[in-house]
A and B are shown apart, each in its own frame.
Chain A
């Protein structure tokens, strides 16, 4: 039932040395040695689309290069199951959602099916997000260490869904959250590990001006006008309608264009509906470009981010919003909502601008579009901040530490 993939990316560990330094990589090798002989099994719900799949596609091959036997499997589910887990997702983000008893029953049924058919072979099980969280039921039978990695904003969860999920979570050995706001009252250790970007991936590596221009031409965009860009799935929680509203007000006095780029993950059936609404709202405004790109359009996204004048992430709720780190890595000024993990990435007025409303977004856009020097300064600071705190090497190192901490006690661990 489970599928398994490895080595999706071709980046070599030594390729990161010029970015993070040799000492950093050496430290990771020391940590990897401590995990020698252990198999770490990642489990989530999809290999493609969405932030989790993207993170794992970089972390798994890099871990393997360090000598850590880390593998990646996915659970299997049907459309109704993913509809339910999408509702879970929205509810955990704080949306008013009611989950029926039948939907909980369906979740349990598919979980049981996965429990029966999945090969759970790891020494450490690294479970991502709510979809496979129920696999913890196997712990009573097979033991081993289990870590739950929550990529979702749990700062204001729907109590019904969280209570349901919490029963599973407390059986894990530890949990990992992306932001301090997501922490819950739990009896198990909760670690803070923000997600990260891969500076060498197609989405973030350096591009030549020719490549950027060819992508713009291919997508029928012009580089002649300042470009405001938001990259995110077509999802109500990303507030694409709010972005259009802000853009329309700015456009009255400043010549610029808006590009909304999105896609849908295989576990996101809601996406098409949102896309239709966004297109309706944009109408026939020639300065608004709505691009529905396939999930593997990494190079295109990279080029768009590099071509942008200002990048926005005006989400209403967020897990972490890696698109913010991506834009900062490209030294772009970013305007984003102070939700989820965004405040970790953006220190207001230092590495970007935080806003709380459409009005705030309009004000920030005007500031950045008319003050290039200030915009560049924010972009430079943002780049340094990401380099220091949000690269894949840092995330991988943190995970290795969590796995090591599973078999160590105390607040000071001598390795």
Chain B
């Protein structure tokens, strides 16, 4: 004991320098780790990256281990140990470092693969990917350790390269499909149960996704195997889970119209009342919807031609307001709208002796519209197809199915709601769409509103 103490008293510097070197390097490691973690925590890009936690957690402890090894290495090197002992220690420390780094890479790779394949439970593809990567890491680590210990690794490297080339050439398609399957699942494009449509025309319900193929079942019941590499190359529309198919498809029509002049005109409220009383429904329909139709770009004023004329030409704000406030949407038929207009005028005439006449050339001209109903090429079999088509059809088509059908064709509600209720059985959604007052939206807004309601429903 005394010898040891004496030796230490004489050679304390030989111990203190390695010890201080070790402590200093370890302290730098601690400091660096703290700084790096803080910097990363402040970086928005790092925080946004989904893999940041996996990487941080995996590096936190090994980072100190590496500085422990580095400190040990430096301590040994500055010590007074004999050179063969130093070399042996360097090889041991180097090997431990390689093992630690390999372990960390393996750990991070596994976590990232699980994260990006979105697998709560490991899938066959993700397990295979992890195993393949682990094998590669282990082989590389062993080769480096062998190299550290002075074993010749060139022949082994040649053999490995040869094997890799042969395997890659032989299993080219298999590997392509395999990596495509990873790509497809990592992008969260497709999962079992989705209804997909490929650019090349195939469509169906995804039954399974294997390493090699994705199997779909078409609407006709055929089973189709699509190589994953094809799936990754082509444009795929994913409609999500398959929706209920309608008992009868929805055929989109559109409607065009011609304005037919009746040659009948009014120049005061009395004449307006007399003519309107006898006017056919198609004349009333035209004048109730004309402003809305002609000014599609406006946030519509839910008003009618009668109100506009009384207000701006006869200058009768009060009657104009009463006529404008008639809520067309509240009436089930155009006949009922007409009756309310006539009643409003009659009530006004009973209480007012208004002799106001318009100037020549400013008369109210009664017009009726002749409508032409055209089929379009669009047919929807379920709500998802319906939404996609609704994005494409002209606003004339939407006008027809919403406005003309309800009042002019006297269906009581719009065609969309009728189809959704009767052919799809989705009464709740049908009622929701039927409850939208179309008179307070531009037609483009109405299109977007219906689409958003349906999308919310099928989500």
Contacts and interface: CB of A to CB of B under 8 A. Distances in A.
B152 to A, nearest CB: 70
Given A190-B263, A192-B260, A401 B295 contact: no
A348 interface: yes
Contact of A388 (B258, B297, B375): B297
B361 A415 contact: no
Nearest to B396: A27
Contact of B258 (A156, A339, A385, A401): A401
Contact of A191 (B259, B394, B396): B259
Nearest to B394: A23
A397 B254 CA distance: 14
Contacts of A186: 263
Interface in A373-408: 384-385, 387-389, 397-398, 401-402, 404-405
Nearest to B259: A192
A24 B254 CA distance: 10
Interface stretch (B23-31, B43-51, B365-373): B365-373
A101 interface: no
A246 B263 CA distance: 36
B255 to A, nearest CB: 9
B294 interface: yes
Interface stretch (A175-183, A223-231, A266-274): A175-183
Given A186-B263, A190-B260, A402-B258, A24 B394 contact: yes
Interface residues of B, number: 38
B360 interface: yes
B295 A388 contact: yes
Contacts of B296: 388
Interface in B293-308: 294-297
B371 A411 contact: yes
Contacts of A24: 394
Nearest to A20: B394
A183 B376 CA distance: 34
Nearest to B392: A23
Given A189-B260, A190-B261, A412 B371 contact: yes
A410 B282 CA distance: 11
Nearest to B393: A23
Contact of A384 (B259, B297, B367, B375): B297
A37 interface: no
Contacts, number: 98
B256 interface: yes
Interface string A1-32: 00000000000000000000101101100110
Contacts of B367: 180, 192
Interface in B338-373: 360-363, 365, 367-373
B312 interface: yes
A191 B261 contact: yes
B365 A181 contact: yes
A186 B264 CA distance: 11
A402 B259 CA distance: 10
B84 interface: no
A398 B370 CA distance: 11
B307 to A, nearest CB: 14
A401 B254 CA distance: 14
Given A30-B374, A411-B371, A184 B361 contact: no
A398 B258 contact: yes
A301 interface: no
B262 interface: yes
B260 to A, nearest CB: 6
Nearest to A351: B295
- Most chain B CB inside 10 Å of its own CB: which residue of A155, A181, A405: A181
A191 B262 CA distance: 9
Contacts of A384: 297
A339 B361 contact: yes
Given A156-B360, A183-B365, A190-B263, A401 B393 contact: no
A185 interface: yes
A413 interface: yes
A220 interface: no
A191 B263 CA distance: 10
A177 B373 contact: no
Given A185-B263, A189-B260, A411 B370 contact: yes
Interface of A: 21, 23-24, 26-27, 30-31, 155-156, 177, 180-181, 183-186, 189-193, 338-339, 348, 384-385, 387-389, 397-398, 401-402, 404-405, 410-415
Those 8 A-B pairs whose CB atoms lie nearest each other, nearest first: A180-B365, A23-B394, A183-B261, A192-B259, A384-B297, A190-B261, A183-B263, A185-B263
13 contacts: A21-B394, A23-B393, A23-B397, A27-B394, A31-B372, A155-B361, A180-B367, A192-B259, A388-B295, A397-B256, A410-B370, A414-B372, A415-B375
Given A411-B282, A411-B369, 17 more contacts: A24-B394, A27-B254, A27-B374, A156-B360, A181-B363, A192-B261, A193-B259, A338-B361, A385-B295, A385-B297, A387-B297, A388-B294, A412-B370, A412-B409, A413-B370, A413-B373, A414-B372
